Amino acid sequence: MMVTTMALVVVLAGGLVHPELASQTPPQAAIAEPPPPPEKPAPRDPGTNPRTGAPMKGGLTVEDYAYEMPEGVTAREVIYYSDGIACYAKLFFPPGFDPQEAEGRAAVVLGQGYAGTHHSIEKYGARFAASGLVAMVIDYRGWGGSMGYPRIVEPVTVGGPLSRDDTRHEVVEAKVWLKRTRLLPQHQQTDYRNAISYIQGEPGVDPERIGVWGSSLAGANALAVAGQDARVKVIAVQVPGIGGNPDGTPPTELKGPLLQDAIAEARTGQGAEVWSGYSRLRLHDAETYRAMRENNTLQWAKNIGTRPFMVIVAEHEELIDNEKAGKAALAFAKGPTEYVVVQDTTHFEIYTGEAFETSVGAAARWFTTHLAR
């Protein structure tokens, strides 16, 4: 935690102040260090599946991540940058891909949901590539294979004369704290958009034929990205955690613990941390809850216009209200739409077995159809 020390400066009434000069008593920051983590809770009990009487599938396992690489599909790990932070992605290329071909291939950017990483959705990228698309499966800043948010621990220098702004770049030796505890959907949406920029520059990709795919929270991210970025030509989302007010976001009130956390973060540089997640418990900043309250993704459905929009849901979805999420968003679309209900499956079952085959097949068909020349 970082604590800022302050010095009281007294200027006599009538004294002339020159703010362009360096202060004689600039604020000083104490050495920052990560806070001790709170006690890790027991894994979440997902309850019993009412259809089978067996335990509900409450997350994904490493066994669920595994996939067979389709014949002829190739992959390459890359770094894309989001607000200057090096982020991980894996590109999947279709059989016979030629980076020199004049027309270029359509491409899709894929992201995963709450506290998720590329590991659990690589298989979607591989299957999209098998259908003729270039697929870019991304990790967000601070998650998966990406770098964390850098924070300078020392030296921390603030203040100084007006002339400090004359130097626009500084390369310094510093002690850096890499924070991997930020889970902010608005930042993730920016990461999507920077990934789009990256894939538009990939040789052999047609920059005018770009789609986005997202699952769970990333389904909402994908909608928000498409609603703000006209470069997205086609959208397909799976079990999307879309929510909010379609008429816009009212001012957010901060009270109680949320307000106290915001104050602590602003005054010390670090708020509370909490454990949460579905497939695996992960530590993240409590600021997530403030960000989620302002993450009105349903409003962006009004901006989809005539662009093709597919929503894929689980028949027995237990985490999301399909009527108020995916179906509500789809109602605002003015172009081609399709609402796919994957039968006899739940939120996490859709990633495996026959449910996976149905969902990935539908999305691949949607992209290849609507991103075709």
Series of mean pLDDT values for 10-residue runs along the chain (373 residues) = 53 82 85 86 87 90 96 98 98 97 95 95 98 98 97 90 93 94 97 98 98 98 98 98 94 94 93 92 95 96 98 97 98 98 97 98 98 92
- Residue 43, CB-side half-sphere exposure with 13 Å CA sphere: 9
Q: Using CA of residue 224, residue 282, residue 143, residue 258, what is the dihedral sign? A: positive
pLDDT on residue 11: 62
Inter-residue contact 73 to 293 (CB < 8 Å):
no
Q: Where are the domains of the chain?
A: 68-148+182-248+296-370, 250-293
Q: Please state, as a whole number, how many other Cβ atoms lie within 10 Å of the Cβ of residue 218.
A: 30
Tell me how far apart the alpha carbons of residues 181 and 272 are, in angstroms, rounded to a whole number.
Answer: 10
Cα 319 to the center of its chain, rounded Å: 19
CATH architecture of 68-148+182-248+296-370: 3-Layer(aba) Sandwich (3.40)
Both structure tokens of 116? 């998720």
pLDDT on residue 13: 79
Tell me how far apart the alpha carbons of residues 217 and 212 are, in angstroms, rounded to a whole number.
Answer: 13
